[in-house]
């Protein structure tokens, strides 16, 4: 059983294995995404957050998921092309994963254990659930699908500032 977010490996849209260790020292916003969801327009504010804070150490990690209403039917190349052409996404996107159930990706099992939802539920309710992770790998908070990513900016700034204070 992994005890740190940095113990996991994830698969990029190009099929390459990426160690979460790569993101040690970064503030992470991890999101399960979908191309045909009512929340798909959240890609735009997610990219805005990434553009605004990437030089300060924010990484947004997008994990497509087809478990909610089959709203991510495409393969990796289609997903990548959609994200780039429709929303100009430049933050890392990963291979499609399950976030709930017996086949849930181990990273998402870990995230939901560390930051349960309302009334302690571990299951993710819908696409565009977001998890904020500090530079030390601590899962700080879980945000609902309905939370506009720009509403998370103050929490991201706090994480980035706290980390900067420790580095100074």
Give me the half-sphere count of Cα atoms (radius 13 Å) on the Cβ side of residue 88.
7
Choice among 37, 65, 83, 159 that is catalytic: 37
Is residue 8 within 8 Å of residue 110, measured between CB atoms?
yes
In this predicted model, what pLDDT tens digit does every residue of 122-151 receive, in sequence order? 889 999 999 999 999 999 999 999 999 999
Which residue would you say has higher pLDDT here, 81 or 122?
81
Position 65 confidence tier, pLDDT thresholds 50, 70, 90 = very high
The residue segments making up the domain with residue 39 are 5-167
The answer to whether residue 65 is catalytic is: no
Domain count, the chain: 1
In this predicted model, what pLDDT tens digit does every residue of 99-108 receive, in sequence order? 999 999 999 9
Is residue 115 within 8 Å of residue 138, measured between CB atoms?
no
Examine the pLDDT at 34 and tell me if it is beyond 80: yes
CA-wise closest residue to 138 among 166, 117, 111: 111
Distance between start and end Cα atoms, the chain: 34
User: At 89, which CATH number?
Assistant: 3.40.30.10
Examine the pLDDT at 47 and tell me if it is beyond 50: yes
Examine the pLDDT at 167 and tell me if it is beyond 60: no
Position 163 confidence tier, pLDDT thresholds 50, 70, 90 = low
Position 168 confidence tier, pLDDT thresholds 50, 70, 90 = very low
Q: How many CB atoms lie within 10 A of CB 39?
A: 21
Q: Quick one: pLDDT at residue 137?
A: 92
CA-wise closest residue to 74 among 34, 127, 124: 34
């Amino acid at each position: 059983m992994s005890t740190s977010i940095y113990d996991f490996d994830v698969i990029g849209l190009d099929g390459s294995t990426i160690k979460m260790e790569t993101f040690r020292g970064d503030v992470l916003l991890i999101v399960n995404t979908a191309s045909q969801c009512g929340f798909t327009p959240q890609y735009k504010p997610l990219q805005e957050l990434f553009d605004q804070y990437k030089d300060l150490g924010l990484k947004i990690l997008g994990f497509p998921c087809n478990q909610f209403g089959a709203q991510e039917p495409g393969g990796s190349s289609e997903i990548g092309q959609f994200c780039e052409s429709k929303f100009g996404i430049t933050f890392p996107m990963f291979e499609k994963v399950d976030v709930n159930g017996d086949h849930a990706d181990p990273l998402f099992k870990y995230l939901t254990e560390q930051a349960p939802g309302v009334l302690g539920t571990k299951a993710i309710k819908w696409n565009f659930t977001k998890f904020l992770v500090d530079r030390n790998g601590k899962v700080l908070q879980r945000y609902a699908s309905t939370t506009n990513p720009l509403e998370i900016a103050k929490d991201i700034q706090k994480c980035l500032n706290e980390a900067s204070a420790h580095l100074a």
